[in-house]
Amino acid sequence: MMPQPSSRITGRDHGQFLNKGPIVFKNFLTSITRNGISLIGTGLAIAGLVLIVSLFVMEQLGFEGGPYLGILTYLILPMIFVTGLILIPVGAVLYRRNLRRRPGGESTPLLPIFDLNKTKTRRWMMIFVGATMVNIVIVAGATYKGVEVMESVEFCGMACHAVMQPEHTAYQRSSHSRVSCAECHIGPGADWFVKSKLDGAWQLVAVTFDLYPRPIPTPLHDLRPARETCEQCHWPTRFVGDTLKIKKHYEEDEANTELTTALLLRVGGEAGKKSSGIHWHVDPGVAIRYRSDETREEIYEVEYTDEDGAVKLFADRKAPEEGGIWRDMDCVDCHNRPSHNYKAPDFEIDVALRDGLIDRTLPYVKKEGLRIIDAEYASHEEAREVITTELTKYYAENYPDLATDRADDIRNAATVLGDIYSVNVFPHMKVWWNTYPEHIGHERSEGCFRCHGKRLRTAEREQISRDCDVCHSILAEREVDPAIITQLNP
C-alpha cells in the first residue's frame, strides 16, 4: 500500500481530486500490482481474507467444521494473510531499488517521500490508516480465536494426532476428559503461556520433520508444579478420610473364578489442625523433597522437614552419592497418571469380565485372553486380526461344540480384547503395556514403595514405614465371596 507517484493524477487540485474516487482506487491498485512480489502479496492477502471471512461466516451460520477447520481459519489463513500484507511493501521497496539501479534512475528515492502538505498524500495516508485499522481488527480477532484453538483439546490431541494419540486416547477415558490439556500442562498466567507457545513451536517443527522421540519420554521434567495447576480445582488438604475400595479379580482357571479384594484406604487429608493419612504429604506444613534418577523410579534420598523445621534424611547407602535430580514432592509424584493412565492387560480384562463385556462363562477366557493380548503386534489392525484368529482357534481346538454354539460370544470377546489393546498399546509410538508406570499403590510399579521401603534409612536406621496398615486396612484379599461383602450387602 505504498503510495507511488503517478503522472496521471499529479497536478490535479483539491476539488477535482476529491471527486475522483475511482482514479485514486486505480492508482492504489497499480501501486500494489506493479511488481511481482507485491502482486503475489496482494493475491495472498486477498485470498486469505476472503477465505477467513467466508469460513467465519459459515461457522456463524452453524456449519460444524471440526477442529481442522478451526486450525485452518484461525491459524493458517491468518498467517497467509499477514505474509501477503508483509510482501506488498517489501515488493514495492525492492521494485524501487531496481528502478534506482537503472540508468537515470538514481533520483528515485528508495522509500516513498511523504509530503503531508499534498492533498494527494493525505488522502493516501487516510486510505492506508483505514486499511491498517481493518487489518489490525482482522489479525487481532484471528489471533484471539487462534489462541483459543491452540489451547483446545482438539488441537493438542489431534494437530499432532499420530504423536499424541496415546495421550489423547487415555485422556478421553480418564476422569479429566472434560479438563483441557492446557489446564494441567499450561495453567494460568502469562509466563507459562509464552513458554508453552515456544515449546509448541518446537513441537510443530519436531512433528513436521519427524524429530520427536518414540515413546515420548516420561516423566515430564518441566511440568508446571502441581500447586499451580491441580490446585486450581482441587483443594489439597480437603479431608477425604477413609475410602472403601472393592476390587474384582478373576482367577486364570476354567471357571474364571471371581475374587474380591476390599481395602479401607486411608486417604485422609486435613481434619482440624492436623493432617493424617496419605494426603498428609501435601499438608502445607510438610515439605518433602527427594533425589532420584531421571525416571524417578530409583529414589536415592528423601528429606522430610516438618512444621517446626526439624529435618529427617532417609538415604539409600548403595545409591550414587552425586548426581540425580532433587525435586519437591507434589501431587504428581503419586498421581502421575491423572489423565494418561494406560492400564495393565490383567486389570482391563478383570474390568471387562466384571462389567459383563466379556462373557465370564466362556471357559479359560481370562487366561487365554491375557495370553493373547499381552503381546507386541505391529498395529491395532494386526492385533485385532490375530486376537480374533487365536481366540477362535483356541475354542475350536479345545471346546469344539462350544466353538460353534457360542461363536457370537467368542467373536464378541475377541472384539472387546481388541478394543482393550487399541486403547492401551500404540505400536507406532512404541507405547506398550508397561511404558508408562503408574505410581499410585504398588501394583503397576514400585509406586509408594519407592520411598516406603527398607533401602532408605536415617542415620538412626529409621525407615519410612512399609507396614501394611499405614496406608490401608486389608479387609479381604483375593477371596471368594468374602464375609465383608455379605455384611455390607446382606
122 binds ligand HEC (CB under 6 A): no
CA 245 to chain centre: 30
CA 141 to chain centre: 25
Least CB distance from residue 215 to ligand HEC, whole Å? Answer: 7
Least CB distance from residue 340 to ligand HEC, whole Å? Answer: 4
Residues 297-326: x where in contact with ligand HEC by CB under 6 A, - otherwise, as a string: -----x-x----------------------
Closest CB to ligand HEC among residues 120, 472:
472
138 binds ligand HEC (CB under 6 A): no
Instruction: List C-alpha distances in Å: 198 to 68, 140, 359.
Output: 21, 20, 50
Residues 6+ apart with CB under 8 A from 166: 215, 216, 340, 342, 426, 429, 431
120 binds ligand HEC (CB under 6 A): no
Q: What is the DSSP letter of 287?
A: E
282 binds ligand HEC (CB under 6 A): yes
168 binds ligand HEC (CB under 6 A): yes
290 binds ligand HEC (CB under 6 A): yes
Q: Which three cell numbers stand for residue 96?
A: 524501487
Residues 69-108: x where in contact with ligand HEC by CB under 6 A, - otherwise, as a string: ----------------------------------------
Closest CB to ligand HEC among residues 253, 462:
462
Closest CB to ligand HEC among residues 286, 396:
286
Q: Give a three-class secondary structure readout of 292-338.
A: ECCCCCCEEEEEEECCCCCEEEEEECCCCCCCCEEEECCHHHHCCCC
- CA-to-CA distance for 53 and 77, rounded, in angstroms? 10
Least CB distance from residue 227 to ligand HEC, whole Å? Answer: 7
164 binds ligand HEC (CB under 6 A): yes
Which of these ranges, 3-11, 80-88, 98-106, 338-346, lies near ligand HEC under the rule CB under 6 A?
A: 338-346
CB 80 within 8 A of CB 48: yes
437 binds ligand HEC (CB under 6 A): no
Closest CB to ligand HEC among residues 164, 315:
164
Site for ligand HEC in 171-190 (CB under 6 A): 171, 175-176, 179, 181, 183-185
Residues 189-218: x where in contact with ligand HEC by CB under 6 A, - otherwise, as a string: ---------------------------x-x
Q: What is the dihedral of CA 301, 305, 310, 316, to 10 degrees?
A: -10
Closest CB to ligand HEC among residues 183, 270:
183
Closest CB to ligand HEC among residues 90, 287:
287
The correct pick among 77, 250, 436, 445 for binding ligand HEC (CB under 6 A) is 436
Q: Which of 152, 149, 204, 203 is nearest to 181 (CA)?
A: 152
261 binds ligand HEC (CB under 6 A): yes
- Classify 298 in phi/psi space as left (phi over 0), alpha (psi -120 to 50) or beta: beta
Q: Starting at the edge strand that comes first in sequence, how are the strands of the sheet with 456-457 ordered?
A: 325-328, 287-292, 299-305, 311-316, 456-457
Least CB distance from residue 355 to ligand HEC, whole Å? Answer: 16
How many amino acids of this chain bind ligand HEC (CB under 6 A)? 77
Site for ligand HEC in 450-469 (CB under 6 A): 450-452, 464, 466-468
Least CB distance from residue 344 to ligand HEC, whole Å? Answer: 10
Q: What is the DSSP letter of 180?
A: -
Q: Which three cell numbers stand for residue 165?
A: 494419540
Site for ligand HEC in 218-247 (CB under 6 A): 218-220, 223, 226, 229-234, 236, 240, 243, 245, 247
The correct pick among 32, 52, 288, 349 for binding ligand HEC (CB under 6 A) is 288
Least CB distance from residue 37 to ligand HEC, whole Å? Answer: 39
Site for ligand HEC in 390-409 (CB under 6 A): none
Site for ligand HEC in 142-161 (CB under 6 A): 153, 156-157
- CA-to-CA distance for 353 and 414, rounded, in angstroms? 13
Q: How many helices (H) and strands (E) does the chain have?
A: 18, 9
Residues 6+ apart with CB under 8 A from 250: 256, 257, 258, 259, 349, 350, 353, 354, 360, 366
Q: Which of 383, 386, 389, 388 is nearest to 428 (CA)?
A: 383
The correct pick among 339, 388, 424, 445 for binding ligand HEC (CB under 6 A) is 339
26 binds ligand HEC (CB under 6 A): no
H or E stretch including 290?
Answer: strand 287-292
Closest CB to ligand HEC among residues 123, 249:
249
Closest CB to ligand HEC among residues 25, 326:
326
H or E stretch including 412?
Answer: helix 407-424
Q: Which of 88, 101, 182 is nearest to 135 (CA)?
A: 88
The correct pick among 55, 334, 365, 391 for binding ligand HEC (CB under 6 A) is 334
The values of phi and psi at residue 457, to 5°, are -140, 155
169 binds ligand HEC (CB under 6 A): no
- CA-to-CA distance for 181 and 223, rounded, in angstroms? 12
The values of phi and psi at residue 170, to 5°, are -65, -40
